[in-house]
Amino acid sequence: MVRFILRRVLEMIPVLFIIATVTFFMMRLAPGGPFDQEKQLSKEIRARLEAHYGLDLPLYKQYFRQMGHLLVGDLGPSFKYPSRTVNEIIADSFPVSLELGMESLLVALFLGLTAGMVAAVKHNTALDHVPMSLSMMGLCIPTFVMGPLLISAFALHLEWFNAAGWFFPRDRVLPAITLGAYYAAYIARLTRGGLLEILSLDFIRTARAKGASPARILFRHSLRGGLLPVVSFLGPAIAGLLTGSFVVETIFGIPGLGRYFVTAAFNRDYFMLMGAVLFYATFVIIMNLVVDIVLVWLDPKLRLE
């Protein structure tokens, strides 16, 4: 286990290096610059700003300079928020995005696992067709459509929740449902498929012949193996929940890292954009490592090698 984790950590280093390199040159090659939207900057002021941030250096010198700062964990300053560093912005805003992502994941797991288990146990009945039809609808409705629909129904008409903000516990409900419903649909279909495969095996028929109850067959004998596809999906799902929060945070006015990421892309805030990309990439790689470990625990036939 220790050797497996160390190998994955070492593999993470070249992956992050490639991501940082590609991000750096894509940002520099994109049209526009960080100070293009400033009001009528004179050439002297623009030159001083570029010299202050090192943007007047040749491109290769800017690259090696930024790579050197990244090696010591310094993500640099933000052009848009000059009084704050990228490290400070991420430290303040990422907990909000993480909270939203975890709450959305709980919604997705609760809805998806429940619908998938019911559909598998009641195969080819109304309790199978209805949840799967709803899951198909969930796959077809993107978050930027789901969010305004929920705001219109539950915030503007029924007035049960606030339309925007991140101040009270009820402010978490609509964003979590908006972000989690899409992944709940995937989890429901994966749970159904995995359980149907397990329920058709010989040892399940043997358990039924011995008089095991349906609940015992489901939770004791079937669920562990049936959830393997869901666990495999959780790595990309968590990454999607965090990156997908960009849209949801903008719709609901949530002060998470996603809003800074979008703002940095539009304003050519090079250091902010680089820091957000590397931070998200590191988080996703770590979560995929955790998912691999859980898969081995669930299925002893798998080997870390």
Residue 50 predicted with pLDDT over 80: no
Q: Is the predicted pLDDT of residue 163 greater than 80, yes or no?
A: yes
Alpha carbon distance 32, 266 (integer Å)? 9
State the Cα torsion 194-143-132-117 to the nearest 10°.
40
Average pLDDT rounded to a whole number, residues 215-232: 77
Top-tier CATH class for 96-265: mainly alpha
Strand, helix or coil for residue 241: helix
Domain positions in the chain are 96-265
User: Among residues 46, 76, 91, 83, which one has the least CA distance to residue 269?
Assistant: 76
Determine whether 32 is exposed, middle or buried from the number of CB atoms within 10 Å of its CB (0-12, 13-18, 19+).
exposed
67-113 confidence digits (pLDDT tens):
998 888 888 888 888 788 888 888 888 888 888 888 888 998 899 88
Concatenate the DSSP letters of all residues of 64-125 into one string.
HHHHHHHHTT---B-SSSTTSBHHHHHHHHHHHHHHHHHHHHHHHHHHHHHHHHHHHHTTTS
| pLDDT higher than threshold 90 for residue 280 | no
- The pLDDT value recorded for residue 21 is 92
Q: What is the rounded CA–CA span in Å between residue 63 and residue 138?
A: 43
Most confidently modeled of 3-12, 42-51, 175-184?
A: 175-184
Neighbour-count burial for 119-156, b at 16+ CB within 10 Å, e otherwise = bbbeeeeeebeebbeebeebeeeebeebbeebbeebbe
Q: pLDDT averaged over the chain?
A: 82
Model confidence at 33: pLDDT above 80: no
**What is the structure's pLDDT at 185?**
86
Sign of the dihedral defined by the CA atoms of residues 34, 40, 43, 44, in that order? negative
For residue 27, how far is the Cα from the chain centroid?
A: 22
Nearest to 148 by CA among 108, 175, 183: 175
> What CA–CA distance (Å, rounded) separates 132 from 185?
8
CA–CA gap between residue 8 and residue 235 (Å, rounded)? 15
Whole-prediction pTM: 0.77
Q: What is the pLDDT of residue 303?
A: 59
85: phi then psi, degrees, rounded to nearest 5:
-90, 165
